[in-house]
Amino acid sequence: MYSPVNSLEKSQLLMDLIAARQEAVSANIANMDTPNYVRKDIEFSQYLNTMNSNLETKLSQKLGPSGVMEPQSQTLTAEDELALMQKNSILYAVAARQMSNTITELKTVINVGK
């Protein structure tokens, strides 16, 4: 069942995950030339699976199996990391818009109740 409060919590969780991924990608870029540095990433699927929505379920299937920072065996390339950072910024824009819409809904409910 849809609830604006639950939607607000989902938006907050998604924004927290996006921020954590941004930190991981930034660390990857900063340490590209560091010997023996192991690439890190955040996968959203574990968290998105708990949101009980078809969209979140589809996203979680597409984004991968784990929701924690974990080492990746692939080679670091600036192009790949910058592309991931760009995807992350698009996700952030979507999450911010979702949060804004939820807040607007809550304001509307409060004003109608007056």
Compute the half-sphere exposure of residue 90: CA atoms within 13 Å on the CB side of its CA: 5
pLDDT at 1 exceeding the cut of 60: no
Q: What is the mean pLDDT of residues 93-97?
A: 88
How does pLDDT run across 13-41, given as a tens digit for each residue?
888 888 888 998 898 889 888 888 888 87
How does pLDDT run across 58-69, given as a tens digit for each residue?
655 555 544 444
Q: Which range, 9-13, 44-48, 54-58, 102-106, has the best average confidence (pLDDT)?
A: 102-106
pLDDT at 84 exceeding the cut of 80: yes
pLDDT of residue 48: 60
Q: What is the mean pLDDT of residues 31-58?
A: 71
Residues 6+ apart with CB under 8 A from 91: 14, 18
CA-wise closest residue to 39 among 94, 92, 81: 81
Mean pLDDT of the chain: 76
pLDDT of residue 36: 84
Contact 47/12 with Cβ under 8 angstroms? no
Q: What is the mean pLDDT of residues 89-106?
A: 88
Q: Is 11 left (phi over 0), alpha (psi -120 to 50) or beta?
A: alpha
